[in-house]
Structure 1
Amino acid sequence: MELRSVQVTRYITPLREGGSLPALAEADDGFNYVVKFKGAGHGTKALIAELIGGEIARMLELPIPELVFINLDKAFGRTEADEEIQDLLKASRGINIGMHFLSESLSYDPIITPVDPYLASQIVWLDAFLTNIDRTAKNTNMLIWHKELWLIDMGASLYFHHSWINWEKLSMTPFKEIKNHVLLPFASKLDEVDEKFRELLTLEKIREIVNLIPDNWLEWRTPDESPQDIRKIYIKFLSYRLNNSQLFIKEANNARKTGI
């Protein structure tokens, strides 16, 4: 399992609706990408969540644009007039992450576009598994592109890693925030999806995805912890949640009953 790597050739525009100043940029393969920068607010942790969440979604065959590693060289951004953006680009030299830009897509509106119950259940399962707090009616982080639903922005997943305290306990939480998920009212197939996804998402697949994380994204822990030590925690966290999926499935089903 691997991600393609591309080089940024042109910074097009900042996407200021994002809290960490993502941007639209062109790469040397001729495509445009929404880029998240390691020099932004949450640093590489947001990029790690994007990588793990996005590649798990892809492995489960959910609709998500291609992710790539985005390289910024030392010269890039020197001519940028905005000082805030120039500082961000300077702090982000090296490997960042980008998502293929879906041109002419529209933000998903649950009132206008209901979602098939099975697909809704798949997405709710994914976000409960990843503890993704950011797919609500206020901010759906989904697009309609060519009349199909696409997932974007997994950066708010795996919030345990912002404190790194009691990660074992947090790995087995029911994830009460699922009650705010925009697709929960449509997600009537959660038990069926749980059975299917537990077959697909093996420990080996989790390990392959986590091992994609670049070493220099894992330099925020103590000096005596190697990048591989930190990867092992991510692997354990995800495997514990998978083995205890009944906790978040029960929570989601209960939230549906009380909220509908």
Structure 2
Amino acid sequence: MSTASEPLVLSEKSSSGKVIILRLNRPKALNALSSPLFDQLNIELEKADADESVGAIVLTGSDKAFAAGADIKEMKDKDFATTYKNNFLGTWTRIGAIRKPIIGAVSGFALGGGCELAMSLDMLLCTPGATFGQPEITLGIIPGAGGTQRLTGLIGKPRAMEMVLANRKIDGKTAEAWGLVSRCVAEGEDVVAEAVKIGDRIAGYGAVAVQAGKEAVNGSLELPLEQGLRLERRLFQSLFATKDQKEGMSAFAEKRKPVWSHL
């Protein structure tokens, strides 16, 4: 396990300074997810979200494991009353309140809570050797942080049933084919570097439009089509009150590169 002096989440900026790279840091536990780790992760995510110099966030683990699951030692002696009263896993969903785009870079195991964490991100890249799964059934439980809900929406009911009920695990190429990840990088390609490239590209656009785009896409997952279209249209219209809309369209008409003010 990580010692008390070692942070459970490491943070660094990319060479451009526009992307924050957060790395889960429990190497001896294959980055097993615990409440203390999520407490630190939420703090680092909120700091990155508040940093105006940052346009995107990359979340990754180690070559062996993005996160091999939730920490069984933390969970095994809990009872219903304790988990219910204390809303166990409730803080694991605070990532949904982050407004900047979060790109996952997965190598190795993304199992159980690790797969659920990966699915909660906005974009997801992986290596061919990545392994995704929801093995909670082998512990006498089911996924509790989105593994039945997000997984079904991404890959469909039959495949989700097989992963949740039959403990089927899939590799990176299958995850790409099924739509679980946005892209599986080539063998030997640096998945974190590729995720940072996407982050830098996003950071090169106006921050207000990026934030609105994320809100609109997320809205499509929660709203009926008519309400989703209304949200999209209102966000689209609201962007005409921004300086970046005027700059972007003027730059296009004048055949020059826009200079974003993020206002």
Give the structure, 1 or 2, with the largest relative contact order (CA under 8 Å, sep 6 or more): 1
Same fold by TM-score, threshold 0.5 exceeded?
no
User: Which interval holds the TM-score relative to the shorter structure?
Assistant: under 0.3
Larger radius of gyration: 2
Higher helix proportion (structure 1 or 2): 2
Q: Provide TM-score, normalisation by structure 1.
A: 0.28
Q: Provide TM-score, normalisation by structure 2.
A: 0.27
